[in-house]
């Protein structure tokens, strides 16, 4: 009989609140790394702390196991998603996960990457196998993934409660890194923040946040989705949620409703009722997300791009980019129905003004040849993601900024779609779920190039191509046509009409 018992090699590290026990993957000092999972950076946000700012945890005695992911703010089975991000039940949802090749090392400290997951600020989880820092550890980078409160609990406006609780969670997690990452072999003076989708939006929000400037030193935003919810919309969404839940729109009122009740109603409350089937799409394009960082005149004094234009974060290197067709695939099912509808007419139904339609279609002739559904999908992509890249790069002016595009089309989904770049960025092409989005043989040369650029930035170097801030428009293309240059002069020309 074969013994299938696996011997766990434990690793220990101290934190300011107590010792933690993680586990090695591979041999210490021979390419292996240790994972410390579910380390709390704040008390469980329940009871009196449910709508409070994050509160530091109390010290503990002995050694605390950090062998499994902690509870997540995301609840329940989310079904099949592009990135596998499982929910973990429990109350203590404010945790960090640390992946390090050198826990407790006393030698030269290693640079640190802090990853913020996406999910539209209402879902997502740091417990994805794609976010394992193994490849970054291999390349001499300590990796931290963080959790934060989502949806209404994290971002809804509540009379009598601190604003932007999810943003405050990001700040608390980054403060934990400053206080404790040296005990895991990391250098708190060399911290890069990175994230994708809402996580990319979080990165840009933090870059533009005066209160965050001392907590990190460079940033990488993948497919950033900004929220910047204005005060009137934040108040209106909270009022609708209170009415749907049958409670007063106050801290005590919302606290009287179970978490599951508010979670189940927050999507319905995010938009004003309408019989127009396109109203939700138009609202998303015109107004953006309903739950997410809100301009509150306090912690978040102004919108992200405005703050960047005013010079906040200008001392920090930034890399940002998007995939070419983030959301184009969502219109694939409508391709037949739209095949005879002129693209200009379809855009007009989305409320796109005449002059903008004309200019946009002129700059997207190649996409137009793929059909009206492809044009609409690309327009949604550009309005939400790709125009943000150009606006942020332009707003930063001379601040060190590099821009890229991820152009390799998925062999299973047809497009260079949302989330496709993430396993390449993490160099984790063999992880579960990657084949569903990237096929059975994704090109490792693209992973080597994209991941290598990320490692270079984290180490303090430039990512390997000329900066947009030196020559505006300069763009690195990952996964483009083999015959085309990897670096082009006006990589976001097609979104000019939206900037």
* Residues annotated catalytic, as ranges: 197, 326, 418
Backbone phi, psi, residue 259, to 5°: -55, -45
List the structure tokens of 199.
């996580």
Cβ-based neighbours of 221, under 8 Å, separated by 6 or more: 194, 195, 200, 201, 203, 204, 207, 318, 319, 320, 321, 392
Of the candidates 403, 384, 458, the residue with the CA atom closest to the CA atom of residue 197? 384
Three-state DSSP state, 277: coil
DSSP bridge partners of 378: none
Dihedral of the CA atoms 171, 232, 157, 89 (nearest 10)? -80
Q: Which residues of 78-95 are buried (b: 16+ CB within 10 A; e: fewer)?
A: eeeebbbbebbeeebbbb
- Count of beta carbons in the 10 Å neighbourhood of residue 363: 17
**Judging by DSSP bridges, how do beta strands 142-146 and 95-100 pair with one another?**
antiparallel
Cβ-based neighbours of 257, under 8 Å, separated by 6 or more: 245, 247
């Amino acid at each position: 009989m074969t013994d299938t018992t696996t011997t766990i090699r434990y690793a220990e590290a101290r934190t300011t609140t107590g010792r933690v026990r993680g586990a090695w993957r591979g041999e210490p000092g021979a390419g292996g790394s240790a994972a410390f999972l579910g380390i709390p950076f704040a008390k469980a946000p329940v009871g009196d702390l449910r709508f409070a700012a994050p509160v530091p945890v109390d010290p503990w005695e002995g050694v605390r196991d950090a062998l499994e992911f902690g509870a997540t703010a995301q609840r329940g089975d989310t079904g099949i998603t592009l990135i596998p991000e499982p929910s973990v039940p429990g109350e203590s949802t404010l945790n960090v996960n640390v992946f390090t090749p050198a826990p407790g090392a006393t030698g030269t400290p290693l640079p640190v990457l802090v990853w913020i997951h996406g999910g539209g600020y209402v879902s997502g989880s740091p417990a994805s196998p794609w976010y394992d820092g193994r490849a970054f550890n291999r390349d001499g980078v300590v990796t931290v993934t963080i959790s934060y409160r989502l949806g209404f609990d994290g971002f809804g406006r509540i009379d009598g409660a601190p604003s932007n609780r999810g943003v405050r969670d990001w700040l608390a997690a980054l403060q934990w890194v400053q206080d404790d990452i040296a005990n895991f072999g990391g250098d708190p003076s060399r911290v890069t923040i990175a994230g994708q989708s809402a996580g990319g939006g979080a990165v840009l929000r933090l870059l533009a946040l005066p209160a965050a400037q001392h907590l990190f030193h460079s940033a990488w935003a993948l497919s950033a989705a900004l929220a910047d919810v204005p005060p009137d919309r934040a108040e209106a969404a909270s009022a609708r949620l209170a009415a749907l839940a049958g409670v007063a729109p106050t801290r005590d009122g919302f606290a009287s409703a179970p978490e599951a009740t508010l979670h189940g109603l927050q999507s319905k409350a995010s938009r004003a009722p309408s019989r127009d089937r396109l109203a939700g799409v138009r609202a998303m394009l015109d107004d953006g997300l309903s739950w997410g960082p809100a301009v509150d005149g306090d912690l978040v004094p102004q919108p992200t791009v405005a703050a960047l234009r005013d010079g906040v974060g200008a001392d920090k290197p930034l890399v940002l980019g998007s995939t070419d067709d983030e959301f184009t695939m969502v219109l694939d099912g409508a391709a037949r129905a739209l095949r005879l509808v002129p693209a200009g007419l379809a855009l007009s139904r989305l409320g796109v003004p005449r002059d903008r339609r004309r200019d946009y279609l002129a700059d997207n002739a190649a996409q137009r040849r793929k059909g009206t559904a492809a044009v609409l999908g690309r327009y949604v992509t550009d309005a939400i993601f790709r125009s943000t890249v150009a606006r942020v790069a332009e707003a930063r002016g001379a601040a060190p900024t590099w821009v890229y595009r991820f152009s390799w089309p998925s062999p299973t989904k047809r497009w260079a779609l949302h989330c496709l770049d993430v396993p390449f960025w993490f160099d984790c092409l063999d992880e579960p779920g990657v084949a569903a989005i990237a096929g059975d043989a994704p090109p490792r040369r693209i992973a080597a190039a994209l991941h290598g650029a990320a490692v270079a930035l984290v180490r303090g170097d430039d990512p390997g191509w000329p900066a947009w801030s030196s020559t505006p428009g300069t763009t690195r293309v990952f996964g483009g046509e083999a015959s085309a240059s990897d670096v082009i002069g006006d990589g976001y020309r097609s979104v000019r009409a939206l900037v």
